[in-house]
Amino acid sequence: MILFGSAQAQEIPDEPGIYGFFPLLASRQRLGILGAPPYSDAILYNAKKALVRRIKRIQDVFTTKEMTGVVKRSGKGQDLAEAYSVSLINYNIDDIVSVAERIDYSSLPGLIDVLERTSLMIGPIYAGMTRLQTLAQRYRQHEADYHNSIKREVFSSRLKKSGLQWDDLIYGCVPISLSGSDIRTVERIMHMLLKSPLSNN
């Protein structure tokens, strides 16, 4: 997989393939820890607060799900079965905020470096494929939707709703020279296994 931040978008391949957007868990730059140590207490305090907000937002993307449907009573004929409309909201019982709030200031810069390097381990928040377009064209479409579109049922609108920003993403892609149907098969397998929360499939 080839990885790109928003600053390297011009290097994305002009080939079809499979791609995903991964959330950047943390980075010194994003959290305001710049330059060489030592860092002031104020800088570390603000960085820690920003880290807590960031990982909570990312956790919410992966754990907040809503489902609706109908439940019917078994053992009865179609006309006699009672049916109930149900709505389920998943929530996470893990208290990730308190874990992050217990971080010692002195270990914060090193911990942020590790979180940055392990960002891909939590999986993509969106996965897709492109057959007739290139990976670069598809990236630019998603980016344009994020900055300009008012469409409600696209990845960019779900991303905005999550509170994550475009430059919070890592774009990973794999150029593929398979047929269109084979690329679609790979995408379906990815969706079934990864269950990317901001994908529609």
In a domain, 172, yes or no: yes
Exposure pattern of 120-148 as b/e (b: 16+ CB <10 Å)? beeebbbbbbbeeebbbebbebbbebbee
**Whole-structure pTM value:** 0.84
pLDDT of residue 49: 93
In a domain, 94, yes or no: no
Residue 73's contacts (CB-CB under 8 Å, 6 or more residues apart) are 81, 82, 83
Q: Count CB neighbours of 37 within 10 A.
A: 7
Residue 41 is which amino acid?
D
Residue 191 belongs to domain with CATH number? 3.40.1440.10
pLDDT of residue 91: 66
pLDDT of residue 18: 92
Residue 89's contacts (CB-CB under 8 Å, 6 or more residues apart) are 64, 65, 66
Residue 63: in which H helix or E strand, if any?
helix 41-63
pLDDT of residue 40: 93
pLDDT of residue 111: 93
In a domain, 140, yes or no: yes
SS (H, E, C) 176-187: CCCCHHHHHHHH
In a domain, 190, yes or no: yes
In a domain, 71, yes or no: no
**Count of domains for the chain:** 1
What does pLDDT average to in each consecutive run of 10 residues of the chain (201 residues)?
A: 92 94 95 92 94 91 81 74 79 74 89 95 93 93 88 86 92 87 84 86 60
Boundaries of domain holding 180:
1-25+118-201
In a domain, 150, yes or no: yes
Length of the chain: 201
In a domain, 57, yes or no: no
In a domain, 177, yes or no: yes
